[in-house]
Amino acid sequence: MKNREILVSPSLLSADKRRLESEVESCKNAGADWLHYDIIDGHFAPNITFGADFVKALSDKGLFNDVHLMIEDPCKYAKKFIDSGADLITFHYEAVEDCLKACERIRGMSEKIKVGISIKPRTSVEEVLPYLNYFDLILVMSVEPGFSGQAFIPSSLDKIRILRKYIDENNLNTLIEVDGGINQDTCQDVVKAGADVLVTGSFFFSSLYRPGAIKMLKGK
């Protein structure tokens, strides 16, 4: 088993919206690797969060900008997020007719952009296995899209194990990211199952000592 470096991507959905610049500084100083932007349109999931201008305001702070589009018609808006500083655009398998076409379209918008695909809890992981080699990342939603602070869905661990096995057996470079309910009680199982990147919202932003929260998530 490769000893993988675990990356942590704090989700700004849980940040104090009155102090965003200092919250992002705090993510950096705490040792976060990425910054996770949960973009929700009120249609794909029952919440409305941020737009491209929000990303633009925070994407020049030196963290890898991990943009999670929980929106319908992601290809229509992807370019705006890329122009706003996104380094990775992850869209939902359930939001497009043809995920390979969508992947190609987004890749065509910029030479540098990384492209990820995400599946909701009720979507079986077998549906996306055939497409993984086209994507830089697969994002497993371990809660229903929409809100932070929800409980981790335990069946997500089976999905992560299946993905880890498939990616390793096929020598793919696709990263596994897990999003939802990641905290001190769930992170070890998620990492053991094979995750590479952990999204953390409420656990990280509610921690009294954030560097310690990052270390715990990284298993250090």
Is residue 33 among the annotated active site residues? Answer: no
- Should residue 202 be labelled a site residue for ligand DX5 when binding is judged by CB under 6 A? yes
Q: CB burial class (10 A; 0-12, 13-18, 19+) of residue 97?
A: exposed
Q: Give 21's contacts (C-beta < 8 A, 6+ positions apart).
A: 58, 61
Question: Do the Cβ atoms of 21 and 58 come closer than 8 Å?
Answer: yes
What whole-number distance in Å separates Cα of residue 26 and Cα of residue 16? 11
Token readout for 35 is: 């910054």
Residue 67: helix, strand or coil by DSSP? strand
Contact flags string 16-45 toward ligand DX5, x per CB under 6 A: ----------------------x-------
- Should residue 23 be labelled a site residue for Zn ion when binding is judged by CB under 5 A? no
- Should residue 74 be labelled a site residue for ligand DX5 when binding is judged by CB under 6 A? no
Q: Which is nearer to ligand DX5, 23 or 179 (CB)?
A: 179
Q: Give 117's contacts (C-beta < 8 A, 6+ positions apart).
A: 90, 91, 92, 93, 99, 103, 128, 131, 132, 135, 137, 138, 139
Question: Do the Cβ atoms of 146 and 123 come closer than 8 Å?
Answer: no
- Should residue 67 be labelled a site residue for ligand DX5 when binding is judged by CB under 6 A? no
Contact flags string 158-187 toward ligand DX5, x per CB under 6 A: ---------------------xxxx-----
Is residue 60 among the annotated active site residues? Answer: no
- Should residue 179 be labelled a site residue for Zn ion when binding is judged by CB under 5 A? yes
- Should residue 199 be labelled a site residue for ligand DX5 when binding is judged by CB under 6 A? yes
Which stretch in 19-27, 33-41, 78-86, 155-163 sits in contact with Zn ion by CB under 5 A? 33-41
- Should residue 55 be labelled a site residue for ligand DX5 when binding is judged by CB under 6 A? no
Give me the helix-helix angle, 20-30 and 210-217, nearest 10°: 50
Q: Exactly one of 33, 41, 66, 179 is catalytic; name it.
A: 179
Interface positions with ligand DX5 (CB under 6 A): 11, 13-14, 38, 70, 143, 145-150, 179-182, 199-203
Please identify every residue annotated as catalytic: 38, 179
Interface positions with Zn ion (CB under 5 A): 38, 68, 179
